[in-house]
Amino acid sequence: QNLDIDVGSIYLTKNNEIGIFLIKKNQSKGIGVNALKLLMKKNLKVRYLANVNPKNKKSIEFFKKNGFKLIQHTYELENNN
C-alpha cells in the first residue's frame, strides 16, 4: 500500500529562515508541529527565523505556540527603474 500523500511542505534556508505550508485539510492535526520539530532536530542552529504575514493569524499562533517570539515587522520597497 502506497502511503505517500502530499500534505504540505516545510523548508529551511541558508539564513535559517523556516517556511511551512500545509494543505488546509491537513492543518490542526499536529503535522506541522512534528515537521517543525524534525526539521530543527536535523538542522541544529543557534536561532531560526520565520517571516509571517501579519494578517495570517493561524501562522502567527503556530509559531508562538512553538516558542517563536515577534522581533520585528519588515517592510520592503522594490525599485523597478
In a domain, 75, yes or no: no
Q: How many domains does the chain have?
A: 1
List the one residue out of 46, 47, 37, 45 whose CA is nearest residue 10. 37
- Which sign, positive or negative, has the C-alpha torsion 21, 58, 64, 73? positive
Share of the chain above pLDDT 70, in %: 96
**Residue 74: pLDDT band with limits 50, 70, 90:** confident
- Which residues face 17 on adjacent strands? 49
pLDDT in tens, 2-40: 678 899 999 999 999 999 999 999 999 999 999 999 999
**pTM more than 0.85:** no
In a domain, 44, yes or no: yes
> Stretch 57-79: mean pLDDT, rounded?
88
In a domain, 74, yes or no: no
Residue-range definition of the domain harbouring residue 31: 8-65
Length of the chain (residues): 81
- Cβ neighbour number for residue 30 with a 10 Å cutoff: 9
